[in-house]
Amino acid sequence: MPRSRAVVLDACVLADFIICDLLLRMAEDPVLILPRWSEEIFAEVRRTHRKLKWEEAIAETWQESVREAFPEAFFNPPKDVVSHLRNHRKDRHVLGTAIISQAEKIVTYNLRDFKPAALESWGVVAVSPDDFLCQLYEMHPDIVALKVMDMAKRHTLKGLILKVSRTAPKFAEAIERDSGQHSRGFSNN
Is the pLDDT at 2 greater than 60? The verdict is: no
Among candidates 162, 159, 132, 158, which has minimal Cα distance to 144?
Answer: 132
CATH fold of the domain at 3-127 = Rossmann fold (3.40.50)
Q: What SS3 state is found at 125?
A: strand
Pairwise CA distance, residues 97 & 76, whole Å = 6
Provide the whole-model pTM.
0.93
What ranges do the domains of the chain cover?
Answer: 3-127, 132-180
3-state SS assignment for residue 36:
strand
Separation of alpha carbons 79 and 18, rounded Å: 32
Q: Reply yes or no: is the peptide bond before residue 30 cis, omega within 30 of 0.
A: yes
Q: What is the pLDDT of residues 141-180, one digit of tens each?
A: 999 999 999 999 988 999 999 999 999 999 999 999 998 7
Q: What span, in angstroms and rounded, lies between the C-alpha atoms of 159 and 166?
A: 12
* Cα separation, 178 vs 56, whole angstroms: 39
